[in-house]
Chain A
Amino acid sequence: MPIIATQPSVRVVTLRIDGHDLSAREDETIIEVCRENKIPIPSLCWMDGLSVVGACRLCMVEVAGQNRLLAACATRVAEGMEVTTTSEKLQRYRRTLVELLFAERNHICSVCVSNGHCELQWLATTCGVDHVRMPYRNHGYAVDSTHEMFRVDHNRCVLCTRCVRVCDEIEGAHTWDIMGRGSDCQVITDLARPWGASDTCTSCGKCVQVCPTGALVKQGTSVGEMVKDQHFLPILARRRSAR
């Protein structure tokens, strides 16, 4: 059934991003405007259709008149705003952030089921990460392969919490959550029970599809075979919003 969208009563503002004069609705964030206008800006935790957490800090931008960097995913546009999405400083910060993600866990692309289809890998390429300058933690994390259809490999998790949010906000199951603090954080199912023993998981697979890396994957896939399809998310999110 087609959804009858009501026209929101929001104002339109004009702003400048990387020298381009643009107009946007006042309830939009900088990253949304960038995406609409095909201005590349890296992100990891942000995803169209999910709530904003501003955790990865990869979408940080410079805004004229502000003495600090702002997360494009968590900053609404404003009239007359002047935004710079790319500068030497931003590039340096982004590269360091991606390197830290690689150093924290064990992302070995060559043997990963998501090799070639991984957002972290793509980010590393676009941010110019040709090597990691800080020492790897080399901490071994367990793989939970108890679920009939899916598998979670914490070695490849970047703690973006997309799985937590999609499960809660779209599927409504709230199977996923976060446990621990700092670098010991881990995504968990139910109260840290094995995924296969979860009472709440509906096996819908949304968490797998939104996961940016090879942390959440389908069983039965070999190296490079895990291709994710995230097109469903904005559609479902708008249907939910319309309800």
Chain B
Amino acid sequence: MSRTISIDPVTRIEGHARISLQLADSGAVEDAKFHLTQFRGFEKFCEGRPYREMPALTARTCGICPVSHLLASNKACDDLLAVTIPPTAEKLRRLMNLAQLLQSHALSFFHLSSPDLLLGWDSDPAKRNIFGVMAKDPELAKQGIKLRQIGQTIIEMLGGKKIHPTWVVPGGVNEPLDSDKREAMLNMLPEALTIAKDTYALFKTMVPTFKDEAEHFGTMQTMFLSLVSPKGQLEHYDGFLRLKDAQGRIVEDRVPPSDYPRIVGEAVEDFSYMKFPYYKPMGYPNGIYRVGPLARLNNAESCGTPFADVALAEFHMLQEDSGPVRSSFHYHYARLVEIIFAIEMMQRLLKDTGILDTRVRAHARGNRDEGIGVSEAPRGTLMHHYKIDEAGLITWVDLIIATGHNNLAMNRSIKQVADAYVDGNKLSEGMLNRVEAVIRCYDPCLSCASHAFGQMPLSIELKDASGTVIDRLVRDA
């Protein structure tokens, strides 16, 4: 008699989702599914709007990573204008993207995932949140909040506000950087780097204690997709697409972002509103790949900044063979490496003498009828693709967001974790939390709406085929 366990909602992620586990008679997990239960409809309601509104419209997809959408959308609009933006504008955009990476990774690691890592998977769920972390290690919690604040403050200094800035525009940015702001930003970054390095050092000592999780949290064989720079280095703003397989062999390289439709297809399943992107030449679902910090570090030959390069070398040692790091648990590690990289790279950009140049915008009209913009969001590769009519109104939109790329991998990961930890005959809190935790490794960003620090009500029910509840576990709000 088959039974289904439903985890609804999944907490401490950005957005609304549900997990269902299908159990066999023996109590073993037969199937596991990650359901995105919210519908947004951006691709449809953007039709008919002027393309210059697209950056602001699509940035509303998310309140955590609006800068990522802002950049990918503006890059698509640059493509429509057929312009090369001034070099200073590109540096400023990079700067904002790195600040966004810093604040988003800090949110994911400290606010959402550290309660599991520091307090334990089986700890009291009432305390397994950022407040529990504050109680156990107030200094660490403060540092996490500080790190995020620095990222957010830099975004505000550049764009006028922390969330949904409109400073990035098609053709560049609408205001140059002044020297006072540059100094203020440079003064903040040493503290950020110290926090990042301390946290990295701490987490490095903790990794061996999570050996079991590292072996069961999404270790399946998948490819890895990300942007890399023309030199093959870690890249978040521009460059070429690279796809590596699970053994580390390069499957696709130097793919111009505009050529993404050749390699990325999107499948649809009836159990989720999220699409299932896949590598087209291998078909669905064999073309499974992962994106995000893990994929970026697996694909990059180096970071290009001193501390991050050392951390990257240590990251590669997590995998015993010489191939890419395959466990999704190590997304956390990769995130910390990227935080160090973001801070070092921001320092480099701000010390660049050209950063104060006042020529920051190229002006043009819509010169192409199709534009593609690809950048790396904190959670992975983000693709914006627009078509416009002669008057510059949007006729077609396709957005492939980072979390979407990871959809197949997230579904496989929860199946693997459920196989390892779930006993269908008797539910336990730790079991429930581990299934959620593997999703948190990917830091899925399902919408801008929800930030539930473990305070959301959660119920998990075990039902038989007739719908009778045979076991129930409730977490109150």
Contacts and interface: CB of A to CB of B under 8 A. Distances in A.
Contacts of B170: 222
B164 interface: yes
Given A110-B60, A111-B57, A222-B174, A142 B52 contact: no
A39 interface: no
Contacts of B164: 110
B392 A223 contact: no
A115 B48 CA distance: 20
B223 to A, nearest CB: 36
Contacts of B52: 113, 220-222
B174 A225 contact: yes
A134 interface: no
Contact of A223 (B166, B363, B391): B166
Contacts of A196: 391
B48 A142 contact: yes
Interface in A102-132: 110-111, 113, 115
Contacts of B57: 111
A221 B169 CA distance: 9
A182 interface: no
B136 interface: no
B351 interface: no
A198 interface: no
B345 interface: no
B215 interface: no
A146 interface: yes
B365 A223 contact: no
A22 interface: no
Interface string A159-199: 00000000000000000000000000000000000001000
Contacts of B60: 110-111
A143 interface: yes
16 contacts: A111-B56, A142-B48, A143-B50, A143-B393, A145-B393, A146-B391, A196-B391, A219-B365, A219-B392, A221-B52, A222-B52, A222-B56, A222-B170, A223-B53, A223-B56, A225-B174
B55 interface: yes
Contacts of A219: 365, 392
Most chain B beta-carbon contacts within 10 A, residue among A110, A111, A143, A151: A111
Contacts of B391: 144-146, 196
Contacts of A111: 53, 56-57, 60
B48 A220 contact: no
A224 interface: yes
A225 B169 contact: yes
Interface of B: 48-50, 52-53, 55-57, 60, 164, 166, 169-170, 174, 363, 365, 391-393
A182 B48 CA distance: 24
A113 B56 CA distance: 10
Interface string A196-228: 100000000000000000000001111111000
Contacts of B365: 219-220
**10 shortest A-B CB distances, which residue pairs?**
A145-B391, A223-B56, A111-B56, A222-B169, A223-B166, A111-B57, A146-B391, A222-B52, A145-B392, A224-B166
A140 interface: yes
B287 to A, nearest CB: 35
Contacts of B169: 222, 225
A140 to B, nearest CB: 7
A111 B365 CA distance: 20
Nearest to B391: A145
Contacts of A151: 50
A40 to B, nearest CB: 28
Nearest to B77: A222
B72 to A, nearest CB: 15
A106 to B, nearest CB: 10
A187 B155 CA distance: 40
B50 A145 contact: yes
A222 B391 CA distance: 16
Given A111-B57, A143-B50, A222 B166 contact: yes
A221 B174 CA distance: 10
B161 to A, nearest CB: 11
A140 B48 CA distance: 10
Given A143-B393, A196-B391, A220 B166 contact: no
Given A111-B56, A143-B49, 17 more contacts: A111-B53, A113-B53, A115-B166, A140-B48, A144-B391, A145-B393, A146-B391, A153-B50, A196-B391, A220-B365, A221-B52, A222-B166, A222-B169, A223-B53, A223-B55, A224-B166, A225-B174
Nearest to B45: A140
A222 B48 contact: no
A63 B202 CA distance: 74
A219 B49 CA distance: 13
B55 A222 contact: yes
Contacts of A222: 52-53, 55-56, 166, 169-170, 174
Nearest to B49: A143
Nearest to A195: B391
Contacts of B363: 220
Contacts of A143: 48-50, 393
A151 B393 CA distance: 11
A14 to B, nearest CB: 48
A145 B48 CA distance: 10
Contacts of B55: 222-223
B102 to A, nearest CB: 24
A196 B390 CA distance: 12
Contacts of A110: 56, 60, 164
Contacts of A142: 48
Contacts of A221: 52
Contacts of A115: 166
A115 B166 CA distance: 10
Contacts of B174: 222, 225
A220 B169 CA distance: 10
Most chain B beta-carbon contacts within 10 A, residue among A115, A144, A224: A224
A41 B55 CA distance: 36
Most chain B beta-carbon contacts within 10 A, residue among A143, A221, A223: A223
A223 B170 CA distance: 11
Contacts of A145: 50, 391-393
Most chain A beta-carbon contacts within 10 A, residue among B49, B55, B164, B391: B391
A70 to B, nearest CB: 40
